[in-house]
Structure 1
Amino acid sequence: MSRPPVNASDPAENPAGKSAGGPADVPGAGADGTAGPRNGRPKGILVIAIIVALEATALLVAAAWYGTQLLTGAPVLSFWGAVFTLGLLLAFCVWLFAVARFLIRGFRWPRAGALVAQLFVLTLGFPTLTGGYPFAGLAMLVPAATAIVLLFDKRVIAFASRAGGAPPAL
């Protein structure tokens, strides 16, 4: 005769013959323990990922415009400083796309990256709003504030708690 498990996550057999506490027993999880769009991904994650991806797209458009201006001979104080600025725009764009992608997949680290990006957007949005460009300022502030609020939603925190595993040794 076997005893029932003391811990609900103990992989011992339960009376129904199913294993207790495995990844498939988590509500909304698939057989391999991952949550997919149909089985547990909160809408807040999708909204945040869309906001971050749109911000990355806007940066890509700005980088393309900046690059074309640089190539057409627009006057700059320092050519290599402008090239460095273009590189920073492209690097930040790639970083934001990675944040959006891994946030949808449920990893933990993109939440911090998304928060930092939204704080940067807020830092630019307030002076833009008060500097005579109210529509551009609101276009930056409203999505950033929405993303910040959703980043602290308990369902988003619960979903985005997957830690990256170590690569296999061999």
Structure 2
Amino acid sequence: MIASVVGLQALALAVAGVVFTFAAFNQPSISIAGAVFLIVLVFALAAGLAAVSVNAFKGFRWTRSAAFVWQLLMVAIAVPALLNGSTLTGLVMGVPAIAVIYYLFTPRVVAYSLRTGGGQQLL
């Protein structure tokens, strides 16, 4: 479940990067450098989250901390959205993040992520 939610978040970031790219070509920008930086940053985050998703599916332990930090950032964005009246945006960003945070600390996920990947168990 964690890998799929993080994978969907990576896909959403990639779609946002494509939207930002089209907007950079179709709308006037105050700062071209800022627009390029934002596009590169969003695509880099999408690639990083995709790597976390794939490696979480494989059972690598480092993915738990990366997924946890990303979900904390999502909650930090969702709470102000909820408080400012953007209920749908806040729920879409907050509910999956809280679910992933919960599941990251369940015994099954912790046991699964103690592997080094490739089906090998650590002793």
* Fold shared, TM-score > 0.5 on shorter chain: yes
Of 54, 64, 72, the residue aligned with 2:18 is 64
Note if 1:154 corresponds to 2:107. Answer: yes
Distance 2:116 2:95 in 1: 30
Letter of the 2:4 counterpart: I
Name which one, 1 or 2, has greater alpha-carbon Rg.
1
Higher-helix-fraction structure: 2
CA distance in 2, matches of 1:79, 1:126: 31
Give the number of equivalent residue pairs.
118
**TM-score (structure 2 length as normaliser):** 0.91
Q: Any idea what SS the aligned residue of 1:150 has?
A: helix
Aligned Cα root-mean-square deviation (Å): 1.3
Whole-Å Cα distance in 2 between the matches of residues 59 and 161 of structure 1?
Answer: 28
Unaligned runs of 5+ in 1: 1-46, 165-170
The structure with higher relative contact order (CA 8 Å, sep 6+) is 2
Percentage identity across aligned positions?
39
Task: Give me the whole-angstrom Cα distance separating, in 2, the residues matched to 1:99 and 1:66.
Answer: 23
Q: Which structure 2 residue ranges, 5 or more long, are not aligned?
A: 118-123
CA-to-aligned-CA distance 1:11-64 (integer Å, 9 cap, x gap): xxxxxxxxxxxxxxxxxxxxxxxxxxxxxxxxxxxx111110111111111111
CA distance in 2, matches of 1:123, 1:75: 30
Q: Work out which of the residue numbers 40, 58, 66 in structure 2 matches 1:87.
A: 40
SS in structure 2 opposite 1:55?
Answer: helix
Q: Partners of 1:77 and 1:129 in 2: how far apart?
A: 29
Normalised to the residue count of structure 1, the TM-score between the two structures is 0.67
1:2-13 equivalence runs, <5 A: none
